[in-house]
Amino acid sequence: MSFHKKLLTAITVIFFAAMLFLTVSARAIHNATLPQVTAERLSSVQFPFEYTDENGNVMTGTKSALAIRSDLLGSDVFVLYQREKNGDMRDYVRLAVIETGEEYNGFTEVLSGIGYGDKFVISTDSILSDGDEVLVEE
């Protein structure tokens, strides 16, 4: 084979090898650039509250309310959501503005900002901003 034929063959092989490599690993490479987070679903916690009954006695009962671990409120809270991009579903975060209520037993009542069942970020390996794409660890 003449020189330029050899060169052409080499280029062709390199091209297809590169495409093959990318096909297999592009997603993994992309995911490596994403912040890795763990998440939890928002659920209800029992809160005590006081009320006066018919006889005028002060009683303590419990109510169920959405609550989040108080220590998480120290930094920004991010809620996870999914959106389609370029043909597949990706995970994104949005900055939540939370209105809080009482505190009890390490949990703070959430009045607004996150809904029941919403996933929110518990831990992350890098700083997040509103609208970032993330990789959620199971």
Partner 1 sequence: MKKLGIVLFIAAALVFAAPVVMTAYGSFVSEGIPTLQNYADLLFDCFIFYPMFWNSVLYAVVITAVQLLVIVPCAFGFSQAKFRGKGALFTAYIILMMMPLQVTILPNYIGLRDMGLIDTRLGIILPMTFSPFGVVVMHQYMKSIDGSIIEATRLETNSILRIILTSVIPQIRACIFAVAIFVFADCWNMLEQPMLFLKRTELKTLSVFIADADKYSGNVLLPASVIFMIPIFLLYLFFNEYLEKGLTLGELS
12 or 46, CB closer to partner 1? 12
Q: Does 8 bind partner 1 (CB under 8 A)?
A: yes
Contact status, residue 91 vs residue 78, Cβ threshold 8 Å: no
Cβ 65 to partner 1, closest distance in Å? 40
Residues composing the chain: 138
The upper half-sphere exposure of residue 51, i.e. CA atoms within 13 Å in the direction of its Cβ, equals 8
Binding mask 61-90 for partner 1 (x = CB under 8 A): ------------------------xxxx--
Nearest alpha carbon to residue 38 among 118, 110, 136, 113: 136
56 or 87, CB closer to partner 1? 87
Of residues 30, 41, 63, 69, which one binds partner 1 by CB under 8 A?
30
Residues in binding contact with partner 1, number by CB under 8 A: 16
| CA distance linking residue 19 with residue 35, whole number of Å | 26
6 or 69, CB closer to partner 1? 6
| CA distance linking residue 1 with residue 92, whole number of Å | 53
Q: With left for phi above 0 and alpha for psi between -120 and 50, is residue 123 left, alpha or beta?
A: beta
90 or 94, CB closer to partner 1? 90
Positions in the binding site for partner 1 (CB under 8 A): 5, 8, 11-12, 15, 19, 22-23, 26-27, 29-30, 85-88
